[in-house]
Amino acid sequence: MFLLLFFLIKMAKEREEKKGHHYSAEDISVLEGLEPVRRRPGMYIGTTGPEGLHHLVWEIFDNSRDEAMGGFCDTIEVVVLPDNRVRIADNGRGVPVDIHKKTKVSALETVMTTLHAGGKFGGEGYKVSGGLHGVGASVVNALSNYCKAEVHRDGGKYVQEYSRGKKKSSVKKVAPSKLHGTIVTFEPDVEIFGDIKFDWNTIVTHIRQQAYLVKGLKVLIIDARDYKGKIDDTDIFYFKELGLELPSVSFYFEGGLISLIKYYNKFQKPIQGKIFYTEKELDSVGVEIALQYVDDIVDRIVPFANNIYTQEGGTHVTGFKTALTRTLNTYCKKNEMMKESEGGFTGDDVLEGLTVVISVKLREIQFEGQTKAKLGSMEAQGAVGTVFGEAFTSFLEENPDDAKAIINKAILALKARKAAKAAKDSILRKGALEGMTLPGKLADCQSKSAEESELFLVEGDSAGGSAKQGRDRRTQAILPLRGKILNVERARIDKMLASKEVKSLIIAMGTSIGDTFDIGKMRYHKIIIATDADVDGAHIRTLLLTLFYRYFKQIIEAGYVYIAQPPLYKIKKGKEVNYAYSDEEKLKIIGKGADISEIENLDDQTASVVEEENEEEIKKKISKVHIQRYKGLGEMNPEELWETTMDPTHRIIKKVDIADAEEANKIFDILMGTEVPPRKSFIQSNAKLAEIDI
């Protein structure tokens, strides 16, 4: 054994020497300045996709917002400029421009070109801020093809320009100035982000949220992308002085979190008349919370730490949930509002129908991860629990009608939870007795590997028959759905499980539901919704998406839900067959120079683009082009369905993603909820965008 080991080591050594590979200090790379950011941008902004692109705007905006949080700034202007540039200005103190003792260059240059440099690591520059990692401005600079910082302070205007994190010149005083504040203009680098397109709605939505969180802050957002004139950004709030009629929106909220709760619940029916609100500092942690219960079965928890939206929650959310459950259980027991046999509330019971905004402010803050999606500061948990627990107890005592409505809401949720558990247990018991029998209508695939398995949800038995015959039996399963499934937007689990179609889908997926949901038991890593290209098909697709969003959001977040894109037309020219997935593609296939006499089933749109000919010439020609308009998948034979919609090498499928959870919540509330006026308003506002196929 020893000789064999010696021989193997010797061979490995000779092989490495033969290759000339010697691992030494020379193999260690040292990246200087901001080069690490350009090499690994995902470490600093999460992604180089649209979310990361907009993250650059948030980083610069956060610096101005931190000035406002400290009381040094009351106005911020965000301008989206032509040529993929964004300009953010504030009337704060202005970044210091004097020489930094350690770096021996201007403090402005230090902040813009050095990682982990800023006024937020100690001292009295900022008591509270969101940018404690100190990478905001420097990361934006590193990932920008062009960047310019302008500072108005101490009677002068100072400017420095950069490209990809490197300065073009030293900080210079270019003119006297009576203003004060900072302006940063940047142009993201196409080498990093590829196709650059700033989304107006994304910017407005994010900044609106921030405006609610800083009382007395005015934010002006301007869309100047279509202004092709000379852009002179030499002065703060310059566009306001130009008098141009540019698309713009401004925000200013005195109500703070109470105003934000009203905004979130504007399409909901409150069951609690008075919005709860408290603000207090405990152990150097500022706690601000507003909440209201509405007539709904889902909850909306919106947490912030130093005004940064922590979408993954954290210690402040944990402290709130614990205090909420404890407080309502204590109040209910004290006032004998529930039978002992019913037990106490769980966290899920007291969250149903709740809309709450939690905002904490800490001097020394810790996030889990560079993108600051989750708060890790443990002191926030205790401070939130104590401050909220005391204030909410007083609120319940002082507002008995609201307290009764909240408790009754929680009791209803408790009873529904027990009924749902009984329904789920019944399904599981039935499955166990039948050997976990899958739904009879499911044509399962042969593969046992979830990674390669696909489940097609098709509309009706006709499409189901074609899909079953045309599929790849090894990896593709088919589940036909008869009619429109239950609208689960307002249905609890017990009622939902009474729906045969919904129950079949849950059993087919294998994940269970509710507190027993386990995404690890998912039987398919592609759930493909394949409905007809008509109004009913769109409705069924919306109902299915509502089901996934409300009860299986993790499946969407994992990237397992897709929407099939079957063709609209089959175009046959002699023996040549083409499929068109849009009207534009149909016209391209036919060709604008096509012979009108060669086309069967000619529609008005096609006729408008082909050449006209006189009647006699038309009669002489033989029809050679045949256009078939598909109304549903059931009209396709198995071969056509496979070739166009199911074959992984040719099909087109769209992955369902949740880009903005809050916007998704609002849309589902409007479209699938019980309130008619918001839905009517939505339809009237968007009617012109509808594509009507008559």
Question: Which of 337-346, 352-361, 595-604, 631-640 shows the lowest per-residue confidence on average (mean pLDDT)?
Answer: 595-604
pLDDT tens digits, 281-291: 998 899 999 99
Band (pLDDT 50/70/90 cuts) for residue 625 is confident
Beta bridge partners of 300: 355
| Contacts within 8 Å (CB) and 24+ apart, 64-68 | 64/88, 64/89, 64/90, 64/92, 64/182, 65/130, 65/210, 65/214, 65/217, 65/307, 66/120, 66/126, 66/128, 66/129, 66/130, 66/131, 67/92, 67/93, 67/182, 68/92, 68/214, 68/217
Beta bridge partners of 527: 455, 561
Residue 454 to residue 527: CA distance in whole angstroms: 6
Collapsing DSSP to helix, strand or coil, 124 comes out as coil
For the chain, percent of residues with pLDDT exceeding 70:
77
Mean pLDDT of 71-89: 91
Quick one: how far is CA 136 from the chain centroid? 21
The predicted structure's pLDDT at residue 597:
46
DSSP 8-state secondary structure symbol assigned to residue 303: E
Collapsing DSSP to helix, strand or coil, 284 comes out as coil
Pairing of strands 144-153, 181-188: antiparallel
φ and ψ at residue 167, rounded to 5 degrees: -70, 145
Question: Does residue 537 register a pLDDT over 50?
Answer: yes
Residue 273 to residue 258: CA distance in whole angstroms: 13
The predicted structure's pLDDT at residue 246:
77
φ and ψ at residue 155, rounded to 5 degrees: 80, 10
Question: Does residue 271 register a pLDDT over 90?
Answer: yes
Residue 73 to residue 81: CA distance in whole angstroms: 23
What is the average pLDDT score of the chain?
80
- Catalytic residues, by residue number, are 459, 532, 534, 536
Which H or E element spans position 569? strand 569-573
Q: How many CB atoms lie within 10 A of CB 188?
A: 25
Mean pLDDT of 352-362: 93
CB 441 within 8 Å of CB 478 = no
Residue 168 to residue 112: CA distance in whole angstroms: 12
Quick one: how far is CA 412 from the chain centroid? 31
The predicted structure's pLDDT at residue 610:
47
Residue 327 to residue 397: CA distance in whole angstroms: 11
Residue 417 to residue 346: CA distance in whole angstroms: 10
The predicted structure's pLDDT at residue 627:
85
The predicted structure's pLDDT at residue 275:
95
Question: Which of 62-76, 454-468, 587-601 shows the lowest per-residue confidence on average (mean pLDDT)?
Answer: 587-601
The predicted structure's pLDDT at residue 676:
65
CB 152 within 8 Å of CB 84 = no
Cα maximum dimension of the chain: 97
Structure tokens at 635: 């009209």
Residue 197 to residue 50: CA distance in whole angstroms: 8
407's CB contacts (< 8 A; 6+ apart) are: 328, 331, 332, 337, 338
Question: Does residue 468 register a pLDDT over 70?
Answer: yes
DSSP 353-418: TEEEEEEEEESS--BSSTT--SB--HHHHHHHHHHHHHHHHHHHHH-HHHHHHHHHHHHHHHHHHH
The predicted structure's pLDDT at residue 616:
47
Quick one: how far is CA 115 from the chain centroid? 28
Mean pLDDT of 406-435: 71
Question: Does residue 631 register a pLDDT over 80?
Answer: no
CB 654 within 8 Å of CB 565 = yes
Question: Which of 313-327, 344-358, 399-413, 579-593 shows the lowest per-residue confidence on average (mean pLDDT)?
Answer: 579-593
Mean pLDDT of 382-407: 95
Residue 430 to residue 528: CA distance in whole angstroms: 27
Domains and CATH numbers, the chain: 37-251 (3.30.565.10), 257-418 (3.30.230.10), 440-566+631-658 (3.40.50.670), 569-629 (no CATH)
The predicted structure's pLDDT at residue 239:
52
Characterise 248 by phi-psi region: left (phi > 0), alpha (psi -120 to 50), beta (else).
beta
Give the sheet arrangement for strand 476-481, strand by strand.
Answer: 476-481, 454-459, 526-530, 561-564, 653-655
For the chain, percent of residues with pLDDT exceeding 90:
38
pTM: 0.63
Band (pLDDT 50/70/90 cuts) for residue 690 is low
Mean pLDDT of 169-185: 91
Which H or E element spans position 148? strand 144-153
Question: Does residue 568 register a pLDDT over 90?
Answer: no
Residue 522 to residue 513: CA distance in whole angstroms: 11
Q: How far is the CA of 473 from the CAs of 261, 452, 477, 639, in angstroms?
A: 51, 12, 7, 14
Question: Which range has highest mean pLDDT (38-52, 222-236, 267-281, 511-525)?
Answer: 267-281
Question: Does residue 561 register a pLDDT over 80?
Answer: yes
The predicted structure's pLDDT at residue 234:
47
The predicted structure's pLDDT at residue 664:
60
Mean pLDDT of 269-286: 92
Question: Does residue 252 register a pLDDT over 80?
Answer: yes
Residue 39 to residue 37: CA distance in whole angstroms: 5
Structure tokens at 244: 């141009």
Which H or E element spans position 12? helix 2-19
CB 602 within 8 Å of CB 613 = no
SS3 of 64-104: the string is HHHHHHCCCCCEEEEEEECCCEEEEEECCCCCCCCECCCCC
